[in-house]
Amino acid sequence: MYTKGRSRHFIYTDWILIETQFDPEQLHSKETVFTIGNGYLGTRGCFEEGYPHALPATFIHGVYDDVPVVYTELVNCPDWLPLIVIVNGDRFRLDQGEILRYDRQLDLRQGLLGRSLRWRSPSGNTIDIGFERFASLADPHVLALRCHLTPVDFDGLIEVQASINGYPENQGFNHWEGLDQGKTDQGIWLQRRTRSSRIELCVAAKVTISGTEASLQVSTAPGYPTLSTTFLGKAQQTVTVEKLVTVFTSREVETPVLAAQEKLAHLPDYATLLKANEQAWDEVWQQSDILIEGDSTATFAVRYNLFQLLIAAPRHDDRVSIPAKTLSGFGYRGHIFWDTEIFMLPMFLFTQPAIACNLLSYRWHTLPGAQRKAAHYGYKGAMFAWESAVTGDEVTPRWALESNFYGEDVRIWCRDREIHINADIPYAIWNYWQATGDDDWMQKVGAEVILDAAIFWGSRVEFNPERERYEIRGVIGADEYHELVHNNAFTNRMAQWHLEKAIAVYDWLTDKFPERATELEQKLKLTSQERSHWQDIVAKILFLYDPSTELIEQFEGFFQSEDIDLADYEPRDRSMQAILGVDRINKYQVIKQPDILMLLYLMRESADFPYSEKALQTNWDYYAPRTDITYGSSLGPAVHAILASDLSKSIEAYELFIRALMVDLEDNRGNTSDGIHGASAGGIWQAVIFGFGGIQLTENGPVANPHLPPGWTRLKFKLHWRGKWHDFDLHQGLGIGHGALGMGHGELGMGHGELGMGHGEKDTTEITNAQFPIPNSQSSNIQGFIFDLDGVLTDTAELHYLGWKKLADEEGIPFDREANEALRGVSRRASLMLILGDRPYAEAQIQEMMERKNRYYVELIQNMTPQDLLPGAIALLDELRQAGIKIGIGSASKNAQTVIERLGIADKIDAIADGYSVQEPKPAPDLFLYAAKQLGIEPEQSVVVEDAAAGVEAALAAGMWAVGLGPVERVGAAHVVLPSLEGITWADLREQLSHVSRQKR
């Protein structure tokens, strides 16, 4: 199904993001949105030919280098994309000439980014250009780019230059120094080294050309090796240029130059690489996909958020982690926050556990840096950096520098005070252990992190003898609007929870792995006195909480701060901190992101203190209205969506979910140009699975107690828990699902039913005419109507015709209205095959044409209004509703939901069965049986209204009443045949059906 993105020129299909128009004003944010990657590197969605002020970037995990003020940053690596096309002397570029047609697509199924356009040069030559590229998931060191060039109206010289740009910049700073470059029999190569961290890199590339006779020339301009060719282009003849690239750094191999050259020499062709990439992605999606039906925007956008996490996840390296802005932009300098462990990790934990293990092992490798930070501040153990890079040392900038000449630089206190990360990381490690049962990793790696970080808390707390309580003073909690607070509830409770688990891990090690326990005691200077100290802290840490109401005070004195009504500041387009100022906002009860509610969320799954249903309700009522959920932190909306769903606030939950879901696709915070909001993407997965899916983890495996948003008819996913996969297939209002541990997959208790089941055995009533069967029910017992859309309620058949006509014209295939008659009620693929006849087309071409036609159709239906309802339709729908008759839609279209919304009749429809609902299309009865089941009625209680022969046949096969609209030669098999719905009433139909019943019985 397609939906159209708000003002971004986007169309969303199930798997493909389509940009229909180039807007230079959105250049940088779209570069982020169209990022591709493979877990080793990420490449922003910049144009191969370049564009003024573009921000091209390729980031490789672990390639950091020193820089003033912000200490270290993820380095922008040499650009592998450059492919210049010169048409009869005019260089192809989108800021010159004329764009006659433009289309850019990101196919999530295989991480494939494509662009198709028709461009007229300043000299008047028109050419079709198609680009396609991917970063291979099958081999992380391989990148591939393909370009199709087809002159439309001229013969002339075309020059192509394929280069490696060795002068990338991190916003004005070049981290690379040149070492060497050259050419081989295969192509060109470039060797560079970072200035401070001394990481060597080699990029190698080769080019092949097909469709014309052409030779390649090599240019070795310093830092910019190039392969170029010139050929005579001929009108309507396509030339294909393929550029294959290999990349290695000294982080993986001793000699990157040899590795890149050898890999390049043995690469297969583009098509083979693409196939391997597709297979690798298929395996990933088999485990990580989430299927949503009934909400076309969410169907795509959820997958998009998962895709952006998957391409940033290190699959083969446990010394790196996912930066806050993934590998997609310059924001936060590629630094790693708590975002990874708390927001992003759960998706990997339950669908790609090996990646989750890598992400957590990174923290073990960076323990020395955390220990250096603790020592610097005068504490013991490991004090994790708020922002981390390679070593684990603190790399949070000390100052935020104003771009305004006269602005005041702002001190960043998170590096000193935001210490809850020291419990957040152990929280993630504990959850990994519980979900995987990976005792070997836990005793070798995870336990040391938990224990060393616990030692820090023992030295950080202060004992207040007057209160006889331990306190943690001078901190920043999850809410960063308040920069110096005491006894923040989130920090104190997370530290307490951490120490509880540290004691449990210590005891477990002593019992199960005594040698490792002894080793860590010596290494960490861990004693029985330390363990006793932890127990004392757990028993006596201060937590500001009213047991009668279960309201928690966010920090000491929060309730005495000046209250604020955020509604007084609406409408606004910036954060409350930007409005009130950094200093002033500290005095108000306004919160950047969930703090108390974040604590309740993290304790929700285990139902640990202070979580309870009463506590959630009480604290939601107090803190949610005071949270800057729109422009505070992007980490907030997804968490709020989950908790709102728990509280049965379904509309609010969905609105919050959409805010998080579309943060980058719609750039609703205005900063997508900095990179993907990785934590929000991870929060989306949690909102779908733990919120709407209602997943709870039990000793017997995950259990679902779903509360799907309005409109969602199906939610399907799988989870990995303790070595077994659990499948969940949840349907709106049809019970709960649970994972059957012994079977290794989820069994859905009433979550869905087999089509055709549950309807009862048909009586063996004698049928006088096999072509004219009578349902085994009296017409007076009709409980529901199922309407087709096309040609019944609206004339979308005309729009389908226009879509097919445009496609056929483009392909040079004769097609007219008479030929279109054969397509009524037929699936998209079957329709296309009828149009193509015996013309030979590859499967990839068939898929592309189906997508193209649907794109044309979706563009057309965006203009539909209630005025497009056919005569008599709305009157009959209203009469049926007044009579208590249920109304369903049974359409083979995958755009049915969108059409219904555009027609303004969504409030009159009780159930929708569309192209997503069943496998077998009409004339199989499955679609109508599914619709009846959704309506909660038996087939024989159903009336189908159809205008196609295949639809009538399907209704009869389902054992339902059939009303045919149109000529007898097309729908004559129906029980009742009418020219249209105009002037038709329920009383008329009931009388005609009764008459048929009396005649035939």
DSSP 260-325: HHHHHHT---HHHHHHHHHHHHHHHHHHH--EEES-HHHHHHHHHHHHHHHTTS-SS-SS----TT
With 0-12 / 13-18 / 19 or more C-beta atoms within 10 angstroms meaning exposed / middle / buried, residue 477 is: buried
DSSP characters over 687-700: IIIIIIS-EEEETT
Asked whether the beta carbons of 537 and 530 are under 8 A apart, the reply is no
144 HSE (CA, 13 A, CB side): 27
| Least reliable range by pLDDT among 204-208, 758-762, 956-960 | 758-762
826 is in an annotated binding site: yes
Comparing 797 with 384, the larger pLDDT belongs to 384
User: 3-state DSSP call for residue 675?
Assistant: coil
Q: Which amino acid is at 571?
A: P
891 is in an annotated binding site: yes
- Residue 648 falls in which region: left (phi positive, over 0), alpha (psi -120 to 50) or beta: left
Residue 382 to residue 42: CA distance in whole angstroms = 31
Q: Looking at the predicted structure, is the pLDDT value of residue 756 above 60?
A: no
| Least reliable range by pLDDT among 113-117, 535-539, 826-830, 905-909 | 826-830
Query: What is the per-residue pLDDT for 897?
Result: 82
948 is in an annotated binding site: no
- Crossing angle for the helix pair 447-460 and 514-524, nearest 10 degrees? 40
Mean predicted confidence (pLDDT) in 177-196: 96
| pLDDT band with cut points at 50, 70 and 90 for residue 669 | very high
825 is in an annotated binding site: yes
816 is in an annotated binding site: no
Residues 6+ apart with CB under 8 A from 324: 331, 332, 335, 336, 337, 339, 340, 675, 678, 679
What mean pLDDT is reported for the chain? 91
Query: What is the per-residue pLDDT for 761?
Result: 27
Comparing 707 with 68, the larger pLDDT belongs to 707
Q: What is the pLDDT of residues 465-512, one digit of tens each?
A: 999 999 999 999 999 999 999 999 999 999 999 999 999 999 999 999
User: 3-state DSSP call for residue 544?
Assistant: coil
| pLDDT band with cut points at 50, 70 and 90 for residue 379 | very high
CA 664 vs CA 34, 74, 166, 587: distances in Å:
10, 21, 29, 32
Asked whether the beta carbons of 713 and 724 are under 8 A apart, the reply is no
| pLDDT band with cut points at 50, 70 and 90 for residue 700 | confident
79 is in an annotated binding site: no
66 is in an annotated binding site: no
893 is in an annotated binding site: yes
| pLDDT band with cut points at 50, 70 and 90 for residue 773 | low
Query: What is the per-residue pLDDT for 780?
Result: 60
Most confident of 113-122, 703-712, 923-932: 113-122
With 0-12 / 13-18 / 19 or more C-beta atoms within 10 angstroms meaning exposed / middle / buried, residue 811 is: middle
235 HSE (CA, 13 A, CB side): 6
130 is in an annotated binding site: no
Most confident of 278-282, 845-849, 964-968: 278-282
Residue 913 to residue 293: CA distance in whole angstroms = 10
Query: What percentage of the chain carries pLDDT values higher than 70?
Result: 94
Query: What is the per-residue pLDDT for 508?
Result: 97
CA 964 vs CA 29, 117, 809: distances in Å:
50, 44, 32
Asked whether the beta carbons of 505 and 433 are under 8 A apart, the reply is no
Query: What is the per-residue pLDDT for 766?
Result: 23
What domains does the chain contain, in order, with CATH numbers?
10-287 (2.70.98.40), 776-794+867-1000 (3.40.50.1000), 795-863 (1.10.150.240)
Residue 495 to residue 473: CA distance in whole angstroms = 13
DSSP lists the bridge partners of residue 178 as 192
- H or E element that contains 623: helix 613-623
Strands (E), 369-483: 399-400, 410-411, 462-464, 469-471
Report, as residue numbers or ranges, the catalytic residues: 788, 790
| pLDDT band with cut points at 50, 70 and 90 for residue 736 | very low
| pLDDT band with cut points at 50, 70 and 90 for residue 796 | confident
790 is in an annotated binding site: yes
- Residue where the block lists tokens 């298929």: 282
| pLDDT band with cut points at 50, 70 and 90 for residue 739 | very low
Q: Looking at the predicted structure, is the pLDDT value of residue 32 above 90?
A: yes
The alpha carbon of residue 177 and the mean position of all alpha carbons in its chain are separated, in whole angstroms, by 37
From the list 550, 467, 460, 551, the residue with the least C-alpha distance to 499 is 460
| pLDDT band with cut points at 50, 70 and 90 for residue 751 | very low
Q: Looking at the predicted structure, is the pLDDT value of residue 1000 above 80?
A: no
Residues 6+ apart with CB under 8 A from 681: 305, 306, 308, 309, 326, 344
Mean predicted confidence (pLDDT) in 577-593: 94
853 is in an annotated binding site: yes
310 is in an annotated binding site: no
CA 600 vs CA 494, 563, 637: distances in Å:
11, 22, 15
Residue 16 to residue 128: CA distance in whole angstroms = 22
| pLDDT band with cut points at 50, 70 and 90 for residue 934 | confident
Query: What is the per-residue pLDDT for 997?
Result: 80
- Residue where the block lists tokens 């990148």: 143
